[in-house]
Amino acid sequence: MIGEAAAGIAAGETALGIELGSTRIKAVLIDRRGSVLATGGFDWENQFVDRIWTYPLHLVWQGLAGAYRSLADQVGANFGVPLETVGSIGISAMMHGYLVFDSDDNQLVEFRTWRNSMTERAADTLTRVFEFNVPQRWCAAHLAHAILNDEPHVNKIAYMTTLAGLVHWKLTGRKVVGVGDASGMFPIDPGTAQFHKAMLEKFDALFAEMSLGWKVAEILPEVLMAGQDAGVLSEFGAQLLDPTGTLKAGIPLAPPEGDGATGMVATNSVLPRTGNTSVGTSIFTMVVMERPLKEVHVEIDIINTPTGDPVAMVHCNNGANEVNAWAGIFAEFAQAIGSSASIGDVFETLFNSSLAGDPDCGGLLSYNYLAGEVITGLSEGRPLFLRTPNSRFNLANFVRSQIYAVFGTLALGMRILESEHIGLDSMLAHGGLFKTKRVAQSLLTAALNTPIAVAETAGDGGAWGMAVLAAYLVEGMGRSLSDYLDQVMFADSAVETIEPDPVQVAGFRDYLERYERALPVMRTAVESS
């Protein structure tokens, strides 16, 4: 088997997906059936500078090369061949934010990530004018915010893109984005799968008196759907990705996508009435819709699949970071007492312990708010753990409360989709939180009161999904993306589904009622510190 895989790698019968997530840049190399051949990664963290969540761009290139290098080293170690080429490449990244450049390709201001929540006035204005929800983290909201605040760089803008679009641009020279990523920049017309022409015109009219020197359509990237030509790896791009010079130029690249779109692919949820939940630094649930929502809800984003279908998205800024932080504390304690337990051992032990907890966490309550949350009306976050004197305070309940906190705000947002009677036949979950089998999966089942499935690829998440989109570019052979996923990538996939347990569902409901009642405590914490 190793010899066969090595031959396939040498022949370029592979696809490479790289996703720039909030805390880790991950690279995944797959074969033509979607099996993972090698992975690589680079850890990074956003910085809070002058009250702006940001990443310096030099870390983008350092991390990109670092993730690729660790993957290439793994290929060499496991298969005995150098990684000189791959069949295709795809770049994905966290969606939204603000990246703008002048006509000489110079970055004009710091990269303002999706995590920032200072664009409320701009987002509200666009939502009212468009009659379409424009969340605070969208590129359009950040652009409008800069205009409304008369920031001096605005008249110099020649190009605005996403993080995935930026990396793809530098690797290929093409200023394009996939339609899923584009839908987090500016509203998409479901009839054309392009930026919505009427809303583009409304944007320009809104700021007509500002003498910007450009129209918004002129500074946006070209929008492509899955499977369309998005360029090839240039000599400059090959050197950027692999400074050793081993990787050859000329490799085709798929349209760059956002983490929302790659999550849909990674969970085979690109058809109407399918959905998925992704957990990382943020957490979101996406449901592919059969029909538009009846009303505009500021808690619900409307984005698109990689093939342009509209998706209702409940997005929460705060995901697994606080769980990870507590696991780090327990790992420090383990080290202090001389234990050889790895961080993986610590996670598995903590998560498994939560299954013995009370369905309502024994009266314990946790908030994972490192950043603000639109759904609960908070502009900033303060992680909190609360208990009363008679709470059942033990390890199982404590860990369960931390995992429940990951799902709390999401559950509040999902109530809106229930009220809109949006149909849902299946929900798949993915992300590192689901690596410990059945734990987070069963607790999410209780939180959403719906069956939750997890596939073998759950831990590889969006990077694997982006590799699949890259493979589809050259292996699709005229099939629809959904058919390609069913017939090739998920044909032999092992998927485990957990059904809701009424006792656990009732326990989470009790937990969520306390969670809502205690939100004023969170607001006081924000105002007081």
What secondary structure, in 3-state letters, does 199-243 show?
Answer: HHHHHHHHCHHHCCCCCHHHHCCEEECCCCCCCECCHHHHHHHCC
Answer whether 446's CB lies under 8 Å from 483's CB: no
pLDDT in tens, 57-86: 999 999 999 999 999 999 999 999 999 999
Strands 310-316 and 14-20: unpaired
CATH T-level fold of 2-258: Nucleotidyltransferase; domain 5 (3.30.420)
Query: Rounded to whole angstroms, how far apart are CA atoms 173 and 197?
Result: 26
3-class secondary structure, 328? helix
Residue 362 gets which letter from DSSP? Answer: G
Answer whether 355's CB lies under 8 Å from 340's CB: no
Question: What is the predicted pLDDT for the residue at 280?
Answer: 82
Residue 500 gets which letter from DSSP? Answer: P
* Tokens, residue 468: 């699949």
Residue 432 gets which letter from DSSP? Answer: G
Give the H or E element holding residue 330.
Answer: helix 321-336
Question: What is the predicted pLDDT for the residue at 1?
Answer: 58
Answer whether 170's CB lies under 8 Å from 97's CB: no
Query: Rounded to whole angstroms, how far apart are CA atoms 354 and 274?
Result: 29
Per-residue pLDDT of the chain (529 residues; tens, 9 = 90+): 578 899 999 999 999 999 999 889 999 999 999 999 999 999 999 999 988 999 999 999 999 999 999 999 999 999 999 999 999 999 999 999 999 999 999 999 999 998 888 999 999 999 999 999 999 999 999 999 999 999 999 999 999 999 999 999 999 999 999 999 999 999 999 899 999 999 999 999 999 999 999 999 999 999 999 999 999 999 999 999 999 999 999 999 999 999 989 989 988 999 999 998 988 888 989 999 988 899 999 889 999 999 999 999 998 989 999 999 999 999 999 999 999 999 999 999 999 999 999 999 999 999 999 988 988 989 899 999 999 999 999 999 999 999 999 999 999 999 888 899 888 887 888 878 888 889 999 999 999 999 999 876 555 678 999 999 999 999 998 999 999 999 999 988 778 899 999 999 999 999 999 999 999 999 999 999 8
Question: What is the predicted pLDDT for the residue at 168?
Answer: 98
Question: What is the predicted pLDDT for the residue at 471?
Answer: 98
Answer whether 251's CB lies under 8 Å from 277's CB: no
Question: What is the predicted pLDDT for the residue at 459?
Answer: 55
pTM of the model: 0.83
